[in-house]
């Protein structure tokens, strides 16, 4: 479809991905590009690779500018034969549903969901953040659908729904079918339908009953619910599938809640191996097995005892912890946490990361206890007389408006508050940063009133306001 380059955004001094799409295109192709690009621009969600810009270049080609991702594609993980633990696989599926739900609610279909279009920024699956890529084939269900000629199939054969394969009109349930194929492949290591040719594969999608995990990988004791969920997604008729990606996400979340307890043994496999299979793998005699089970039982009892003591201690700490600031916290917003919980929270030892670039350190403070880590950071730099003061990223953290008072008067040039609970009140503190040049307020609660406060920022050059509540009035204020 085009060429993807790694480029440098000179204005923001960061690397980006630039997808160049064709040269010397027809008028109809240019019209389609602009419609698709406008559709992409509507998608601002943590689980979707957002388009940051699109335009024509001097040589007549068209291009999209996107965030440069780091990590692995899901297809690479499958090809490496690496098993994703079952609970973590469910969390990946739920994040995919979250992103697709955002797109479907804006009448945008992906139409090419497959493992190579799913990106994980961390292969420690309990902390992995999922990004859906390549919405370049997405079509608006309304206007853009009319630009697609009947009979033209768009997608990848191993993941195409029966109605998509025969060129019929499609809706969000076609994306659900592709998610079903993806889930089956992640958990079993094989595609649900394969063949020697594209027509052979498409015929299987249309006519052949979908396989079941319990038959494909009988050595792994997956819960029966996941078989039911995947079979529902792979129903031949759209009417027999889940009717929305939100409905699928809810079913996966319920299964995750149960499986988190059921598979808390950390076997490291996509599904727990049955007792018989484990015995075969270990090749133990009956006497050895008995001894192993006896020792295992003792370890389980001791582990449960320790776990019980820790749980009671933890509960006591929660009950008597200082709650003096709870009344100040704004209510939790849907965009502050993912439905799967704290999957993007790093281990405690990774809470503060420091990188040096052009003699100016960049400090990343992740989600939990942002105020405490911020106080530690500021104390550290105040002790270093003459040291370059860091740029600070508090993106996705639990920082609140009142915490920003800690920064007043400091020589900070760049501050990232993306996807936090910061409101207009927090800008009062930020206006007292005399050297602040770059500010990211994407997915915060900033409004038109907050935009008015930006006049008080003496050095501000760049600001990001993606997915805020700003209206035309706020944009008018920005022009001043």
Residue positions annotated with a catalytic role: 112
116 touches 65 (CB < 8 A): no
Residues found in the chain: 480
Q: C-alpha 443: how far from its chain's center?
A: 15
DSSP secondary-structure letter at 264?
T
Buried b (16+ CB within 10 A) or exposed e, 4-14: beeeeeeeeee
Q: Is 76 helix (H, G, I), strand (E, B) or coil?
A: helix
Tokens of 112: 């090419």
133 Cβ contact partners less than 8 Å away, ≥ 6 residues apart: 49, 69, 117, 118, 119
DSSP secondary-structure letter at 470?
-
Taking alpha carbons only, the member of 231, 130, 238, 128 closest to residue 175 is 238
Q: Is 393 helix (H, G, I), strand (E, B) or coil?
A: strand
Tell me whether strands 360-365 and 72-73 are parallel, antiparallel or unpaired.
Answer: unpaired
Torsion (CA) 146, 147, 152, 156 in degrees, nearest 10: -100
CA distance 251 to 231: 13
89 touches 187 (CB < 8 A): yes
Tokens of 29: 């192709």
Q: Please provide residue 441's backbone torsions phi and psi, each rounded to the nearest 5 degrees.
A: -120, 25
CA distance 425 to 453: 10
339 Cβ contact partners less than 8 Å away, ≥ 6 residues apart: 94, 98, 249, 253
Taking alpha carbons only, the member of 216, 188, 197 closest to residue 86 is 188
CA distance 101 to 107: 10
130 Cβ contact partners less than 8 Å away, ≥ 6 residues apart: 47, 92, 95, 96, 99, 118, 119, 120
192 touches 181 (CB < 8 A): yes
Beta bridge partners, 371, equal none
Tokens of 84: 């994703």
The CA-CA-CA angle for residues 298, 301, 307, to 5°, reads 140
Q: DSSP letters along 127-161, please?
A: T--EEE--GGG-EETTTGGGGSPTT---S-GGG--
Tokens of 163: 């109605």
């Amino acid at each position: 479809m085009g060429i993807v380059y790694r480029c440098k955004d000179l204005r923001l001094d960061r690397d980006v991905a630039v997808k160049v799409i064709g040269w010397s295109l027809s008028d109809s192709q240019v019209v389609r590009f602009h419609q698709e690009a406008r559709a992409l621009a509507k998608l601002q969600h943590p689980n979707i690779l957002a388009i940051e810009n699109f335009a024509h270049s001097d040589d007549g080609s068209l291009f999209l500018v996107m965030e440069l991702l780091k990590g692995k594609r899901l297809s690479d993980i499958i090809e490496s034969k690496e098993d994703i633990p079952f609970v973590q696989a469910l969390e990946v599926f739920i994040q995919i549903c979250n992103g697709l739900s955002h797109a479907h609610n804006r009448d945008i279909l992906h139409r090419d969901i497959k493992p190579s279009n799913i990106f994980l920024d961390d292969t420690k699956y309990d902390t992995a953040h999922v990004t859906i890529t390549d919405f370049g084939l997405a079509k608006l269900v309304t206007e853009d659908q009319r630009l697609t000629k009947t009979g033209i199939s768009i997608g990848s054969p191993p993941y195409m729904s029966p109605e998509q394969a025969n060129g019929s009109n499609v809706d969000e349930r076609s994306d659900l079918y592709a998610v079903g194929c993806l889930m089956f492949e992640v958990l079993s290591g094989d595609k649900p339908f394969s063949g020697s040719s594209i027509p052979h594969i498409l015929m299987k999608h249309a006519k052949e009953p979908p396989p079941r995990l319990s038959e494909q990988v009988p050595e792994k004791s997956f819960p029966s619910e996941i078989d039911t969920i995947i079979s529902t997604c792979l129903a031949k008729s759209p009417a027999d599938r889940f009717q929305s990606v939100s409905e699928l996400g809810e079913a996966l979340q319920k299964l995750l809640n149960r499986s988190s307890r059921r598979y808390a043994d950390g076997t490291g496999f996509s599904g727990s191996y049955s007792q018989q299979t484990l015995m075969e793998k270990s090749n133990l005699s009956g006497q050895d097995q008995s001894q192993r089970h006896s020792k295992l039982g003792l370890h389980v009892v001791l582990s449960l005892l320790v776990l019980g003591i820790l749980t009671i201690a933890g509960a006591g700490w929660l009950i008597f912890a200082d709650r003096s600031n709870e009344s100040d916290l704004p209510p939790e917003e849907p965009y502050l946490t993912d439905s799967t919980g704290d999957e993007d929270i790093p281990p405690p030892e990774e809470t503060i990361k420091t990188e040096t670039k052009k003699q100016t350190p960049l400090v990343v403070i992740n989600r939990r206890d942002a105020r405490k880590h911020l106080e530690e950071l500021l104390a550290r730099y105040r002790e270093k007389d003459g040291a370059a003061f860091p740029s600070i990223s508090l993106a996705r953290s639990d920082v609140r408006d009142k915490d920003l008072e800690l920064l007043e008067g400091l020589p900070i040039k760049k501050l990232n508050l993306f996807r936090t609970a910061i409101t207009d009140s927090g800008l009062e503190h930020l206006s007292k940063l005399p050297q602040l040049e770059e500010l990211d307020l994407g997915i915060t609660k900033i409004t038109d009133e907050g935009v008015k406060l930006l006049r008080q920022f003496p050095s501000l050059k760049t600001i990001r306001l993606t997915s805020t509540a700003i209206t035309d009035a706020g944009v008018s204020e920005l022009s001043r």
